[in-house]
Amino acid sequence: MIKRLLVGILTCLCCTFRPPRRYFLTMRRFLTRMVSRLWLCEPVAVAMSSETPVRAQGRRRMVVGLGNPGMEGTRHSVGMAVVGALAVRLGLGERWRRDRQLNGEVLEADMHHLVLLRPRVLMNVNGVAVAKAASKYGVRPEDILLVHDELDKPLGKVGIKHGGSARGHNGVRSCMDCLHTDVMPRLRVGIGRPTGKTSVERHVLGRFGAEETKVLDLVLVQSVNVLMAQLGEQEEEERRSSSPSQTKVASVDPLPTRT
């Protein structure tokens, strides 16, 4: 009970705390890490090392839609919308279930050795849910694909980034802090920068406008196509690496690629 109270207080602080500008980023990151460490019951780094055992039927992968709970439809939570669209494409849109232990909504697509996750904690501590899910399902960091909004891409543009820095995205940074690595690939979904005097914070937390919504449907289709292609390539690579002596890979129905 006391632990939950401390987590709640620190979570509010890390999202609303406004010290002098010169100390803002340092203090906010410090508070966010404190929340993550309190929330995680045990270190996850050991379970998530490259020594994580591979299941007999193949390596399990996880796709995570980063965002804020209760703020679906906002630019900052577009990653959640993409993962929801992916579930529908796989014909599993009705199989989401709430997992309080993981602080998120999960969906298991066993036929594809795939787990979908939508964290139900604030963006700044999304990494807590990701780390817990990765530990529970035995998913390696390099097999976790993060889907998130990207200010530096206009709406309608998406792209894959293979690890590296968080580029200022707090949700990605939280995942890096909790998993203790930056190897996770990401699908960056463009939302564009604000125009006029609108602040970045107000822009990302705001809902898509009427004209943007017309484009958003196409963006979701495009994003799911990219995800399917990426997952299909990973499946093909795994099959090849598991059969090094074979010159021809057995015919197996892969994940659908982009249409």
Q: Are 40 and 121 in contact (CB under 8 A)?
A: no
**Residues forming beta bridges with residue 158, ordered by sequence position:** 189
CB 24 within 8 A of CB 18: yes
CA 244 from centre of chain: 32
Catalytic residues: 76
For 229, list phi and psi in degrees, rounded to 5. Answer: -65, -45
Three-state SS at 62: strand
Both tokens of 234, joined, read 């990973």
Q: CA–CA separation, 145 vs 231, rounded Å?
A: 9
